[in-house]
Amino acid sequence: MSAVSLSQIVKRFGDYTAVHQMSLEIEEGSFVTLLGPSGCGKTTTLRMIAGLLDPTQGDITIKGRRVNDVPIHKRNLGLVFQNYALFPHKTVAENVAFGLNYRDVAKDEVKRRVAAALELVQLPELGARYPKELSGGQQQRIALARAIVIEPDVLLLDEPLSALDANLREDMRVELKRIQQSIGVTTVFVTHDQTEALAMSDQIIVMSEGRVEQVGAPEDVYNTPATEFVARFLGASNLLDARCTESAPGRVLLDLPGFPRIDIPKERAPRVSGPGPVRLVIRAEKLHLKAPGSPAEGMLSVDAVVGNVDYQGQSARYFVRVGDHQMQAVNMIEDHPFAEGERVTLQFRAKDCAALPVESRP
């Protein structure tokens, strides 16, 4: 039985449709991320699961129970929002205990569970403090402790890391995943940050304009995008017009002017069914810039000229021209970055490429 099931969910606000015919199964104990740009419908979907919004049509099921008409306080859900929503006049312990006080839990049990929750988020000594005395990262942990202390069926997280600075976000990303795994709670996480989604998720649901573009494990979604939107949104990609000359069991052959023939594994082009125009997808970090004439065993090679160089410290993002094609490559810097105008050899492996049918173009 799925922990959360959405069946043909639609959400309209007047004439505007925010979510279109969305169906989804979220497995018990999994960490699932709704990923997409602002306005794609991910937060609307989360709020419908929570009971903060009613779906226009379709059914929402939690632990096998249809909850369309069940109010939020009877769904046994833990929620953490962007602003944490801590009560400033209550202590940390009182904030964490808030949900338990409405569940007729005995005082001794409340005290025990609050202490356990604070221990889990590694802030056991802060129970007597007030939110204003805490850092942003500490407030985020307290909001998480308040959400999990009720032992929810599902934990819902709406961009909870967005208010933190970059370094703290990385630390909390690791910490949040550790806590989720330690208690095994089914978690639905909303973010527009692809790095967070890739690092934390068991499954990613990529959304655009209220529709699901792709559902899959992080590696599958990243390496084998189902649509051009996914290829462009998740990571830095090169999308080039090519032609499939053969689609056989286990392989797809592509021709691209100025490139050697590209022999792609069929699993990297599952939607390419036969000869015709396609879109070749090559991730920027899979393109390697080398000095002209460098050995290329097992690699395909083309001549290129370096354009703009975006220096990033340990790595650089290069914009290079290959014939009529403008491409980008992200490489670690060994001694010094290649310079603008420098001639280089661009190397890549066919198995690192993917292909999409042209009709997938938005």
pLDDT tens digit sequence for 161-212: 887 888 888 888 999 999 999 999 999 999 999 999 999 999 999 999 999 9
Pair 199, 315 in one domain: no
| Secondary structure class of 152 (helix, strand, coil) | coil
Strand order of the β-sheet with 262-265 is 262-265, 251-255, 237-248, 276-283, 353-357
Pair 219, 232 in one domain: no
Please say which residue of 208, 223, 238 terminates a domain.
Answer: 223
pLDDT (0 to 100) of residue 273: 87
- CA-wise closest residue to 144 among 171, 122, 164: 122
Q: What residues contact 305, with CB distance under 8 A and at least 6 apart?
A: 320, 321, 341, 342, 343, 344
Neighbours of 266 (CB within 10 A): 14
What is the average pLDDT value for the chain, to the nearest integer?
Answer: 93
Pair 31, 174 in one domain: yes
**What's the CATH number where 137 sits?**
3.40.50.300
| Secondary structure class of 96 (helix, strand, coil) | helix
pLDDT (0 to 100) of residue 64: 94
Q: 60-100 pLDDT, tens per residue?
A: 999 999 999 999 989 999 999 888 889 999 999 999 999 99
pLDDT (0 to 100) of residue 361: 43
Arithmetic mean of pLDDT, 256-284: 93
Please say which residue of 223, 250, 283 terminates a domain.
Answer: 223
Pair 145, 239 in one domain: no
pLDDT (0 to 100) of residue 232: 93
Q: Is the pLDDT of residue 274 over 90?
A: no
pLDDT (0 to 100) of residue 343: 96
Arithmetic mean of pLDDT, 113-124: 95
Arithmetic mean of pLDDT, 205-222: 96
pLDDT (0 to 100) of residue 295: 85
pLDDT (0 to 100) of residue 362: 43
Share of the chain above pLDDT 90, in %: 82
Pair 289, 156 in one domain: no
Pair 201, 186 in one domain: yes
Q: 120-158 pLDDT, tens per residue?
A: 999 999 999 999 999 988 999 999 999 999 999 999 999
Q: Is the pLDDT of residue 360 over 80?
A: no
Please say which residue of 167, 189, 223 terminates a domain.
Answer: 223
Q: Is the pLDDT of residue 39 over 70?
A: yes
| Secondary structure class of 57 (helix, strand, coil) | strand
Pair 49, 63 in one domain: yes
Pair 324, 300 in one domain: yes
pLDDT (0 to 100) of residue 359: 63
**What's the CATH number where 275 sits?**
2.40.50.140
Cβ(13)–Cβ(44) below 8 Å: no
- CA-wise closest residue to 309 among 301, 318, 300: 318
Domain of residue 342 covers 228-360
Q: State pTM to two decimals.
A: 0.91
Q: 280-291 pLDDT, tens per residue?
A: 999 999 999 999
Q: 76: which 2 tokens?
A: 């046994």
Number of structural domains the chain divides into: 2
Pair 65, 157 in one domain: yes
Pair 257, 216 in one domain: no
pLDDT (0 to 100) of residue 282: 96
Cβ(156)–Cβ(75) below 8 Å: no
Helix locations, 189-244, DSSP H:
194-200, 218-223, 228-233
Pair 218, 233 in one domain: no
pLDDT (0 to 100) of residue 228: 93
Pair 232, 302 in one domain: yes
